[in-house]
Amino acid sequence: MEILEFLLLLVIAGICGVIGQLLVGVSRGGFLIAIVLGFIGAFLGMWLADAMDLPAPLVLEIGDTSFPLLWSVIGSALFVGVLSLLTGRRRA
């Protein structure tokens, strides 16, 4: 993976994390936190999709890496929602 592909993957994960936060209505920090939430959301979302035997629509191919856009947004929204339940809400 080249550095440009890695940076593009970080930006896309950050956008997915921001969308997940907006869906829940909770802000957990800046863009770096959104990047982390996007990656956690991708792992959580794909795990849920595999557990329920669901397909992965909207998969973005960056170089040799696949990034599930839809499951990343859904997973990050679920993760932020659980975090807000456990720690209290910070409105966006």
- The reported pLDDT for the residue numbered 58 is 85
Q: Is residue 39 part of a domain?
A: yes
pLDDT tens for each residue of 45-63: 899 999 999 998 888 898 8
0.75 surpassed by pTM: yes
Buried b vs exposed e over 42-63: b needs ≥16 C-beta within 10 Å?
bebbbeebeeeeeeeeeeeebe
CA dist., res. 9 & res. 83, Å (int): 24
Q: Is residue 77 part of a domain?
A: yes
Q: Is residue 33 part of a domain?
A: yes
CA dist., res. 86 & res. 15, Å (int): 24
Q: Is residue 92 part of a domain?
A: no
Q: Is residue 17 part of a domain?
A: yes
Residue-range definition of the domain harbouring residue 79? 3-87
Please state the domain count of the chain.
1
